[in-house]
Amino acid sequence: MRVDAIAIDLRPRSMMEASDLGVRLVGANLRSVVRTGAPVAAVTLLLALSTIELAPWLPSLLLFWFKPWLDRTLLFVLARAVFGQPTTFTDLWNARREVWWSQLLPTLTRRRFSPWRSYVAPVHQLEGQRGAESRRRRDLILHGRRGVAFAMQWAFGWVELALLLGLTAFAFWFAPPERGGAWFMALFGEGRLESALTFAAYALAVCIAEPFFVGAGFAMYLNRRVELEAWDIEQEFRLAFAA
């Protein structure tokens, strides 16, 4: 990795401060995140919604299960943003083999319920190790940081839930006063329309929260590498000698 090409200020931070940096990284690169991630998310949501005939709850379950796979596109965009590179869908398409299909099975199985998923995802996606080497690297990145990584993931889980509840509450807020309760309860019915509305609310909550969740984990990962490898010092030396 060319440390001198990194376009953000890397220095030792607390892990919570680093997660805030990740949130701001997403905000600063929102255009690349949206134009690259939106087509992937749209296709995924449509495919998930197409299963509603099989079971009303299946689209939401599929979206929940495939979130780590969607995260890979977001991480690709943010990894390029760290080096000041904007991303288009063409860039993603050219790297689709590595981003979408590399390590697909573990991404959707044993890593799906990792309590620190976005924090260790860069190890698997960006560093390129396999097998025992990858596990050793993951354990090193996690050493002494499991608690804070879990806390960040737990916090974003509550953010997503709050968004979901807020979005479903619109059915009550904007309904006629005499029918507000009926409209709200309809969201929890078993019909296709009610299930589609519930899925739409969940999908919107995921689309809002997930980029920031991935960004927070990625920035915490970068902060850990600063701690382990003193990138901030190397950056200063490279810039000094370049001058």
Q: What is the pLDDT of residues 80-122, one digit of tens each?
A: 998 889 999 999 999 999 999 999 999 999 899 999 999 999 9
Q: Are 8 and 215 in contact (CB under 8 A)?
A: no
Domain around 176: 3-242
pLDDT in tens, 182-223: 555 555 555 677 788 889 999 999 999 999 999 999 999 999
Tell me the per-residue pLDDT of 30-88, one tens digit each, with 9 for 90 and over. 999 999 999 999 999 999 999 998 998 899 999 999 999 999 999 999 999 988 899 99
Token code pair at residue 51:
């299963």
How far apart, in Å, are the Cα atoms of 60 and each of 77, 133, 197? 25, 35, 11
pLDDT at 182: 55
Using CA atoms, how far apart are residues 160 and 166, in angstroms rounded to an integer?
Answer: 10
Cα–Cα distance measured from residue 217 to residue 72, given in angstroms and rounded to the nearest whole number: 12
Residue with tokens 């390129």: 128
| Tokens 């689709």 found at | 96
- Ramachandran region, residue 57 (left: φ > 0; alpha: ψ -120 to 50; beta: rest): alpha
Give all strands (DSSP E) within the chain, no chain letters.
Answer: none
Per-residue pLDDT, 12: 84
Residue 148: band (very low, low, confident or very high) from pLDDT cuts 50, 70, 90: very high
Q: What are phi and psi of 13, to 5 degrees?
A: -130, 165
Single pTM value for the model: 0.88
pLDDT band at 237 (very low <50, low <70, confident <90, very high): very low
Domain count within the chain: 1
**Region for residue 85 given its phi and psi (left: phi exceeds 0; alpha: psi -120 to 50; beta: otherwise):** beta
Distance CA 220, CA 216 (A): 6
What band does 157 get if pLDDT is binned at 50, 70 and 90? Answer: very high
46-49 long-range contacts (CB < 8 A, ≥24 apart) are 48/199, 49/196, 49/199
- Residue corresponding to tokens 């991480």: 75
221: nearest Cα among 112, 130, 124: 124
Give the chain's length: 243
Spatial CB neighbours of 208, under 8 Å, sequence gap ≥ 6: 163
* pLDDT band of 167, cuts 50, 70, 90: confident
Q: Is the dihedral of CA 19, 76, 111, 127 positive or negative?
A: negative
d(CA 74, CA 150): 20
Computed over every residue of the chain, the mean pLDDT equals 86
